[in-house]
Structure 1
Amino acid sequence: MKSDGKSESKPEAAKAPVTLTLYLHGAALTDNEFQRFFAEPVKKKFPHITLEFLKDKANGGTDPNELITAGTYPDMLYGSNTAVFAHKDLKWIADLSPYVKKEKVELSRVHPAIVETLGMYADREGEMIGLPFVTNYAALFYNKDIFDKFGVGYPKDLMTWDQIMGLARLLTRTDAGTPYIGLDFTEPDRPGGQLSLPLVEPKTGNSVITSDGWKKIFGLLKQNYDIPGYIGPNNKWTYGLNAFLKDRNLAMLPNWADGVIGPAEEFMLKGQPLNYDIAALPNFEDALGTGREVDMHLLMLCNQSKHKDEAFQVMSYMMSEEIQTIVAKAGRFPVLNLPELEKGFGADLGSLKGKNTAGIFKAKPRNMHDNPNQFDRSIVKPRLNDAAKAVALGQKDINTALRDAQELADKQMADARKAKGN
């Protein structure tokens, strides 16, 4: 099946009924999104196929091992690229390359960085672990009310971090007993992803977070931590989404767009709209115009599925222009490299009306760092967070914090490999 989606979908001829399950594991997808993106259009396109939605423990559902114990295997897996290793451990992922070739799926229409990133997770040449469904962009979200309160000009698209830091210093202050925070990076791997910094060296299996690149990132973080008033009561050193959306005392939040846009829409529907806008993600001067590393949600075919052909039909249909248009209008980022989809982004969301959504797309996703590792997220990232906290609270200098984090990460990875018998 070609995934061009240029014409309206037509129901196929009557076939034997099939029920397929989609298992959400290592990503976010609401019940409403499942119905809108998957269940309803699939039933229209393939009347004989009914989709059921299963969720993992993090989303209030069932752990994968519980499914295995019960002998209940899903047909399709929905997860982020960072969750691929968990699926590999379960031996759930089927190679899609024969299906892609047979059905002539047009991967040339997908953003090249996404296709390249998918290839990084293959265990052998030519293997394809999944089909991309949505991607994500990061952007700078800012609270206009705070800027107006203190008479500071709004951020513009593609500013440097040095310029943004100047705004942060003007906006980190206390007014009428309320502490305002200018900027929160939240976690060091997020700006680190803007330089595609690796976390683990594949040949040695050791972490590489004492590199000059990571020291550069921590130098930027320290500038922010050192602004008078940034560290709050009880050594509060990070603020995040709640401070921006709920407490509304955080002026600027560089964040994954889908993490802000959906919740902001919910606040608007509850009668609590946030007066915010968006600017393209800032970066270091030599990397302007690029955002964070590719972050995508993909669909994988479960090895144990009894309906692989039908499941792949559904998966490839999700890459059609028809479905990708629905996705874009609902405020998710399509994987097809089509400018018209960017122009229609968020058209169905009232909270995005009048917002600089075009700015989001000006900082293009970067290619993933070489050789993503199974321990990047589970071990090394938490140690980076520990190092950031130590620097923020003045407990360690940058070099010491990163060295200690690297040593502990290496020990924990060695222990984990030993436990797995590797």
Structure 2
Amino acid sequence: MKKLTLGVTILLLMALMTACAGSGGSGGDNGGVSQGGSQDPTNAASPSAETADFKKLGDEPLTLTFFNTSGTFPDVEFQTLIADPIKKKYPNVTIERITPAATTTNEEVLSTHVPDIIYSSSSSHQKIIRTGAYEDLRELIKRHNFDESRIKPILYDYIKEMTKGKGDQIYAIPFNANQHVLYYNKDIFDKFGVEYPTEKQLTWDEVLEIAAKLTRTENGVQYVGLSVDNLTGLAKGLGLPYLDRETGNAALDTPEWLRIFELNKRIFEIPGYVTPEGTWNWGRDHFMKDQTIAMRVTWLANMVGPLEELRQQGVEFNWDIAPAPNFKDQLGKTREAQIHSLSVNSQSKHKDEAFQVIAEILSDEGQRVLARNGRVPAIINPELEKEYGLDIPVLQGKSVQNVFIGEPLQEHYIHPYELDISTRLTEAAEDLAVGGLDVNSAIRKATDVINKDVETLRTTLGQQ
């Protein structure tokens, strides 16, 4: 009996010692990781399931902060897609959003706060790289046995391209594929007796013909048949870079860009498109709030979340979804799928926990939540497409299957200076719309001013 008691006591002591050695859920213990994020040499080998779990989210209360650097991500989506699912899975974990003043830059936020998780898109990736805020995730990927093969190649390959040949760091994990569709206002089509778009992918010629019928003034209200995000939006149908990858100079003097400029010029020349007052740049609010745009070709994430917020405010109208159009010789393809991604802050004190949250969001169940609430998953799982939009009220009754008609393109390589010169393409569109320039003159002007900008950037930011 004494031997049995002694054996039980020894087993209990061993269990207690093991539990103490494996704790660290609150994040106070580095769990074998130094403050700089390098892995403890004792854990440097290929991680086993045991070492991968040494810093679990645990049971202690833990708050992780979250900051959105770019991409449309309204509070309703933050709660539905991230905060609530993580709280359900880990009741002790709270994801708290940092919401700075609208005029505050990302650089200012990241210099005064240390958000544990950073949400980004191609509209900010290169600028955030400059701040040093991204943690290289390669060690965390190994330590937590994260299966990278589950991520769609067109998304993950873009992430890898950001640092290819410059260290090959992995700075982000794709969160969703932000694909393009054609939104249309059924009420405007009905008003002017025009048939709705269907599941057939239209050519730009066909879309412009429809847009001309829907661009008119009725009872003092200006209706516009088409909004396309102008040169930058149209270029995504051909996957065009703004800058040459090797030289950094403007890459607009190509047959492909000429095609884009000519198409945008044709849109502006639709009678009534540009108002007598010179209004030419039609966007989201004109479609959603004013409800004067008949068709809008843009990203899913740019509209679905805001439309749901609008619905919750009691504002609804009769709209639907069709496949994004393209040039006749490009049918079967849509536009570049923008990558929305999640990253760990290099200064976070909770890197392991932040990465585990990201891994949970990339799980089948986490991505199912995304799919059912109007985001195209980042992982390879065709079954999730069948559940697309089922849980978000604003998509009920919509032709959501049209989201998946046509193959999205991989987003082009974003040169480190591209975000800094992108406004020059808006200026070029304005030159086409109201500046009186022909397409060749607009391309030459934009090329000259972009190249001057690049020279300045080389001086201020260094050769990249």
* TM-score, normalized by the shorter chain, greater than 0.5: yes
Distance in 2 separating the partners of 1:63 and 1:125: 24
Q: Give the match for residue 41 of structure 1.
A: 85
Distance in 2 separating the partners of 1:14 and 1:189: 45
Which of 344, 361, 372 is the aligned partner of 2:414?
Answer: 372
Which residue identity is paired with 2:123? Answer: T
Which residue identity is paired with 2:429? Answer: A
Q: SS at the partner of 1:142? A: strand
User: 1:163 offset after TM fit, Å?
Assistant: 0.9
User: 1:14 offset after TM fit, Å?
Assistant: 4.6
**Aligned: 1:343 with 2:395:** no
Q: Give the match for residue 334 of structure 1.
A: 377
Q: SS at the partner of 1:255? A: strand
Which residue identity is paired with 1:24? Answer: N
Distance in 2 separating the partners of 1:62 and 1:183: 32
Q: Which runs of 5+ in 1 are unaligned?
A: 1-11
Distance in 2 separating the partners of 1:266 and 1:52: 20
Which digits, 9 at most, give the CA deviation of each residue in 1:98-121, with x for residues without a partner? 222332322222222011111111
Which digits, 9 at most, give the CA deviation of each residue in 1:342-372, with x for residues without a partner? 2222212222222111101113320122x32
| Contact kept? 2:286, 2:293, Cα under 8 Å | yes
| Contact kept? 1:139, 1:278, Cα under 8 Å | yes
**Aligned: 1:89 with 2:133:** no
| Contact kept? 2:175, 2:362, Cα under 8 Å | yes
| Contact kept? 1:244, 1:253, Cα under 8 Å | yes
**Aligned: 1:144 with 2:186:** yes
Distance in 1 separating the partners of 2:128 and 2:95: 21
Which residue identity is paired with 2:430? Answer: K
Q: Give the match for residue 289 of structure 1.
A: 332
Q: Give the match for residue 290 of structure 2.
A: 247
User: 1:390 offset after TM fit, Å?
Assistant: 1.1
**Aligned: 1:217 with 2:260:** yes
Work out the number of aligned pairs and report it.
Answer: 406
Which residue identity is paired with 1:264? Answer: L
Q: State the Cα RMSD in Å.
A: 2.1
Q: SS at the partner of 1:94? A: coil
Distance in 1 separating the partners of 2:301 and 2:377: 12
Report the TM-score, using the length of structure 1 for normalisation: 0.90
Which residue identity is paired with 2:293? Answer: L
Which residue identity is paired with 1:204? Answer: T
Q: Indicate the structure (1 or 2) with the bigger Cα radius of gyration.
A: 2
| Greater displacement, 356-365 / 98-107 | 98-107
Distance in 1 separating the partners of 2:58 and 2:226: 57
Q: Give the match for residue 76 of structure 2.
A: 32
User: 1:395 offset after TM fit, Å?
Assistant: 1.5
| 1:14-413 correspondence runs (5 A) | 14-58=58-102, 63-65=106-108, 67-68=110-111, 70=112, 72-123=113-164, 124=166, 126-156=168-198, 157-369=200-412, 371-379=413-421, 381-393=422-434, 395-413=436-454
Cα 1:128–1:302, aligned 2, differ >3 Å: closer, same or farther?
same
User: 1:193 offset after TM fit, Å?
Assistant: 0.8
Distance in 2 separating the partners of 1:368 and 1:62: 25
Q: Which runs of 5+ in 2 are unaligned?
A: 1-55
| Contact kept? 1:155, 1:164, Cα under 8 Å | no
Distance in 2 separating the partners of 1:240 and 1:393: 17
Cα 1:152–1:33, aligned 2, differ >3 Å: closer, same or farther?
closer
Which residue identity is paired with 1:25? Answer: T
| Greater displacement, 238-247 / 265-274 | 265-274
| Contact kept? 1:170, 1:182, Cα under 8 Å | yes
Which digits, 9 at most, give the CA deviation of each residue in 1:22-50, with x for residues without a partner? 22222333333333332333234334433
Which residue identity is paired with 1:150? Answer: F
Which residue identity is paired with 2:424? Answer: R
| Greater displacement, 248-257 / 28-37 | 28-37
Q: SS at the partner of 1:55? A: coil
